[in-house]
Amino acid sequence: MIFTNLLYQLEAETGILTITINRPDKLNALNAATIEEIRAAAQQALEDPAVRGIILTGSGEKSFVAGADIAELTKLDEVSARRAAERGQEAFALLEKSSKPVIAAVNGFALGGGCELAMACHMRVAAENARFGQPEVNLGLIPGYGGTQRLTQLIGKGKAIELLLTADMVKADEALRLGLVNHVVPQAELLSFCKQLLTRILTKAPLALGLCLDCVNAYYDKDRHGYQTEAESFGRCFSSEDFREGTSAFLEKRPAVFSGK
């Protein structure tokens, strides 16, 4: 697919895909077309065996995603707004449920839909100038792309409610203290840090990485049983080539070479 609002860059030698929200004149704000491209890019990445891990970021040094395209929102009614929320949730869920690790490299403002997009990723690394927030109540709205759910999961009910109701912005160091982000680094080091972290993760068994992610997601899925999913996934590992390679490498005191099978 040819993308208009995204940059889709795959490093063939590492298998690391960088997806960049590229609407710098709009501070990378999310409109319907961009959300559809995020969905398509995520689906393409999941289906491409050459992609082993994903970094999601925004263009420039000021904004990851500054929020939704407000002008577009004013044209919606109750029915179309609900469908827009559902489309956003579906797109972001592809990232959250990805069997390949996804890191958000938050290079600036992550507000509204931008904060929701970052939270849908498996991990978040923030530049020192990053700012997070869900300011929707200032517009007479609430988050619609999963923000009420994921913010609560990440930082707890009480603090999530405070941030949702006050619309306060959180600086990077406070986001780290709350558990909203995993690391805070200087802006100039953001992408290189994310690539180093992802490269280290990608030395592990691909099947096991995907199963870990699935088991964690099962905890939050009301239609699944987390402990049962974990037991089933643990058993599945024992029939994999990766398990045989990993245990053999350990016993033979050599680095493992995993196939993802």
- 61, 78, 128, 136: the active-site residue: 136
Distance between CA atoms of 8 and 30, rounded to whole angstroms? 17
- Give me the phi and psi of 226, to 5 degrees please: -60, -45
Distance between CA atoms of 132 and 126, rounded to whole angstroms? 10
Rg of the chain (C-alpha set): 19
Q: Using an 8 Å Cβ cutoff, are 172 and 105 in contact? A: no
DSSP 218: H
Q: Is 189 a catalytic residue?
A: no
Give residues with Cβ within 8 angstroms of 32, minimum separation 6. 69, 72, 84, 87
- 11, 36, 116, 245: the active-site residue: 116
Residue matched to tokens 């993760």: 201
Strands (E), 2-129: 6-11, 16-21, 53-58, 63-65, 102-106, 109-111, 123-127
Q: Is 245 a catalytic residue?
A: no
Active-site positions read 116, 136
